[in-house]
Structure 1
Amino acid sequence: MQHSYRQLAALLSKKIKAGQYQPGERLPSVRACAEEHEFSVSTVIRCYRYLEAQGLVEARSKSGMYVADWSESHVQQGSTLKSAAAHPPAVEYDKLISLQHRMTELYSLTAQPLELGLHLASAAAEWYPCELLAKIAQRQLRQHPMQIGAYPAGSGLPSLKNSLVQWLATCGVDLTPADLLMTNGSTEALSVALRSVAQAGDTVIVESPVYFGLLQMLENLGVKAIEIPCVSDTGMSLEALEYALEHQNGVRAIVTMPNFQNPLGCVMPDKHKKRLLKLAEQYDLALIEDDVFGDLSAQAERPQPIKAWDKQGRVIYCGSCSKSIAPAFRIGWIAGGRYQAKITSLKLSHSLITPLLEQAVLAEFMQSGALPSHLRKLRERLSASIPQVIAAVQRYFPVGTQIVSTAGGWWLWLELPEHIDTLALLRQSVSRGIAFTPGALFSSSGKYANYLRLNIARPWDKQMDNGMRLLGQLASAS
């Protein structure tokens, strides 16, 4: 039995393809369509969403639903997966530029009928050691089934903390297990780090462009952000930072991602890292370091974290296995130095304890010696995609498109010609089955409107090539 909205969609689709509704023509309002065809308003809404996912219609803000500039080739390119999604949730695109809503709206794209979801910072699932981790988990459950019924306690599983201390020592970070607190991913680590050093009304320094989740955290805390521009090959401009510190009162912390900055992908040179730390010391500031991508260097040597030079305990170091080993585990860690006691208290009041099963699996994986081999393969795969993606951008995207950075092989940060609004481009591309992250999300002021971040951490294949071609065509037509 076919759902009512599918019946109505089939009828309207037939009319569109027969030319009874021309491209650019406004469709009847939801209420008018419901009255004409004797369906409920909710049925018509579901129908229009379904047709939008098929690429046949498009929503225009505060205007209504219009027939898209469709063609058989457009519909066929995304038909397989689009037709499988009966009721994709609506994405309120205008809310993407709102700090309050951008995370919710961006993540809702994941539930859309997408062939290429290139909007989140996650690599292809097959690039992670999923089967090995699953075997370890099964063994853990067989050998220790009672751990499911035991209430966890403490700051983290000792065996995992020991393994992390040993691993971090290889990149110059000298810690003891007592210095580490396990968290629910780096998101919680950043959250408790911020809350430990700033409160509502305070100011922190952030990079620009910057990870949109950090901006939303700051807004929720009532903390003001000063955006310091980043340079594509060296990261945060230390000259601009020094000027801001000289002229701005009430700054409590600097938040930085010196290794493979999100979204630029750049690595800050060691001399800049040391100078940044000296500025934090000079102005008596906390330095919150997000190092979630640090293990993913294409070079033989992993870039050192700023924490490696911290002698005063003012660097709050945040890490995670979500990018490098197991995204689904949501295991992160924080070494708070002089702020550790407050961080621990905030963590306990926020989420108590980080689940132990995933920690146990991760600990055994690290103790087995499998981590270096896995990271080497992951880095090789990340690097291998870069030449094909660069060639595709040069081949398909409009003249004037600039590849700002490919460092790390995780994503591209692209600057499109100035007249192109990538938020509007996203609305078009999602209806064709492709999602990316528009540049406006990476600033609280809505800058970078003609930029986009494109996740390339996946195998290069025909699907990727077709997706890049279609995205380039849409951008050229904008």
Structure 2
Amino acid sequence: MSSGTLTRYQQLADELAGNIRTGLLRPGDRLPSVRELRRQRGVSPSTIFQAYAQLESEGLVVARERSGYFVRARRQLTGRPPEAAQPSERITPVAISELVFELLGSTRDVDVVPLGSAFPAPELFPFDALARCGARAMRRLGPAQISGALTAGDESLRAQVARRYALNGVSLQADELIVTNGAMEALNLCLQAVTQPGDVVVVESPTFYAALQALERLHLKAVEVETDPVDGVRLDALEALLKRQKVAACWFMPTFQNPLGALMSNAKKQELVQLLARHGVPLIEDDVYAELHFDARRPLPAKAFDLEGMVLHCSSFSKSLAPGYRVGWAAAGRFTRDVERLKMMTSLASPIPSQLAVAEYLVQGGLERHLRHLRSALKSQHTAARAMIERYFPKGTRMTEPQGGYFVWLELPQGVDALAIHHQAMVQSISTAPGVLFSADRRFTRHLRLNVGHPVGQQVKAALKLLGAMANLPNVVGAE
């Protein structure tokens, strides 16, 4: 598959998926028969069967013997996901770091139930195998390999990363990749490469608090764009904003967005890239959760549709393979040399041992087996946690139903103060991530992001039950 196009069956599948997610096709509706679609669209039966198989693998439709394909019922607390925010499009100076440090500083305590954490359970990762791979690779390390890894990173690692992208239909050259100290360094370098102090950057609403911290550090201003909890940034709202505001860059997470878990379809990602290219606005793409998909196929990144070199794609192995190893990368398109120079002027290079350990692990071929286990565990934990939330949280609570990652985003009933719940929960050694962290103007006062990436054993069950009870208490309800 070429990097700028979708196959016909993917186009058909994305169109039908969009109709399902927006409610044009409702649970129980029968999809058109192969004969009907063949007549209407002029596509082959093979194309239709492939499209329906993809929808089935994504959990959107179910096949019934001798009856056809039907839209699958979706479980949600109130039958609806949380409402999309209506940001004011006001340009906002960012001052979020003190709040982040205050609210999340205690989440590192091992005795705290980590529902506010940014990482899944450590026992889900192959640390012993990575250690063996690292020891093996370090014994073969030669002096030339050390100097050769400055500044872009170890050549063998970059080749393995480029190969993995190619296997997923994305054409990236190894010399476009710059290895970084985790995705956060990649994102910060890319942001610095395309902005100057005082510039305006568009972010999702809500957005990951680390993006706001990066804007704050570089003295940038934020403007939020309406973001649907199911399928991400609303492109009509973005286009209207771009026509009114002078924007230096967009920082988006099109795949399993943090905190919403929203997933833009391939067709929508392609449209996003084309829209920004027309306006000459770079896209900084945070793609750290893409490997954690629950369906059969990894979603394509926006970078797959980048024909102009305007997408600065950033990812890492921190969420999928090696937390703590800090192995990330940037594929910065036309800005690659700028990012490489910034890397040289700041951290110079990323540590060789962690790069070699990950590269050796990839060469040994264990990644796919590990990812299958990880995805299965996360999907099971999602299901178990959602069932607990549906059982114990107050009527009127809305909850996202992501198709990957390990977060759920809760919208609590009118008047409930999520920050009060957070403070009460910390007294009980339970961490949460209150919604005020995820907006420059702290608008999400009755929202919580919960990490469901840990086994739902007795401790997590008790914590979710207690949070639900807190959300029902009169002292966390007040005038908004």
> Same fold by TM-score, threshold 0.5 exceeded?
yes
TM-score, normalising length: structure 2: 0.76
Distance 2:316 2:219 in 1: 26
- 2:334 equivalent to 1:338: yes
- 2:193 equivalent to 1:196: yes
What does residue 304 of structure 2 align with? 308
Shift of 1:295: 0.9
- 2:278 equivalent to 1:282: yes
What is the number of residues matched between the two proteins? 381
Distance 1:339 1:146 in 2: 30
> Does structure 2 conserve the Cα–Cα contact (< 8 Å) formed by 1:234 and 1:269?
yes
> In the superposition, relative to structure 1, how do residues 118 and 146 fare at CA in structure 2: closer, same or farther (>3 Å)?
farther
- 2:157 equivalent to 1:167: no
Distance 1:145 1:165 in 2: 23
Shift of 1:98: 5.0
Distance 2:214 2:434 in 1: 19
- 2:428 equivalent to 1:432: yes
- 2:131 equivalent to 1:134: yes
Distance 1:186 1:172 in 2: 22
Distance 1:269 1:368 in 2: 32
Letter in 2 for 1:449: T
Unaligned runs of 5+ in 2: 1-93
Instruction: Find 2:463's aligned residue among 461, 467, 474.
Output: 467
- 2:454 equivalent to 1:458: yes
Letter in 1 for 2:215: L
- 2:391 equivalent to 1:410: no
Shift of 1:108: 1.4
The sequence identity of aligned pairs, in percent, is: 38
What does residue 235 of structure 2 align with? 238
Q: After the TM superposition, which residues 204-215 of structure 1 pair with which residues of structure 2 at under 5 Å, given as runs?
A: 204-215=201-212
How well do the aligned residues superpose, as a CA RMSD in angstroms? 1.9
> Does structure 1 conserve the Cα–Cα contact (< 8 Å) formed by 2:179 and 2:328?
yes
Distance 1:269 1:149 in 2: 41
What does residue 391 of structure 1 align with? 387
Distance 1:102 1:148 in 2: 43
Distance 2:394 2:104 in 1: 28
Shift of 1:106: 4.0
> In the superposition, relative to structure 1, how do residues 151 and 305 fare at CA in structure 2: closer, same or farther (>3 Å)?
closer
Instruction: Find 2:219's aligned residue among 212, 219, 222.
Output: 222
Distance 2:234 2:433 in 1: 24
Distance 1:310 1:143 in 2: 38
Unaligned runs of 5+ in 1: 1-96
Distance 1:455 1:293 in 2: 13
What does residue 253 of structure 1 align with? 249
Q: After the TM superposition, which residues 42-81 of structure 1 pair with which residues of structure 2 at under 5 Å, given as runs?
A: none
- 2:101 equivalent to 1:110: no
What does residue 177 of structure 2 align with? 180
Shift of 1:407: 2.9
Q: Render the CA deviation track for 1:109-161: whole Å, top value 9, x for unaligned.
A: 12446331111221111101111112222333445498999896231000000
> In the superposition, relative to structure 1, how do residues 114 and 428 fare at CA in structure 2: closer, same or farther (>3 Å)?
farther
Distance 1:138 1:385 in 2: 33
Larger radius of gyration: 1
What does residue 52 of structure 1 align with? none
Q: Give the 4+ runs in structure 1 shifted more than 6 A.
A: 145-151
> Does structure 1 conserve the Cα–Cα contact (< 8 Å) formed by 2:315 and 2:330?
yes
> Does structure 2 conserve the Cα–Cα contact (< 8 Å) formed by 1:171 and 1:308?
no
Letter in 2 for 1:153: L
TM-score, normalising length: structure 1: 0.77
Letter in 2 for 1:322: S
What does residue 48 of structure 2 align with? none
SS at the partner of 1:319?
A: strand
Shift of 1:387: 2.2
> In the superposition, relative to structure 1, how do residues 420 and 339 fare at CA in structure 2: closer, same or farther (>3 Å)?
same
Letter in 1 for 2:99: R
> Does structure 1 conserve the Cα–Cα contact (< 8 Å) formed by 2:422 and 2:432?
yes
Letter in 2 for 1:415: E
What does residue 53 of structure 2 align with? none
Shift of 1:304: 0.2
Which structure carries more relative contact order (alpha carbon 8 Å, separation 6+)?
A: 2
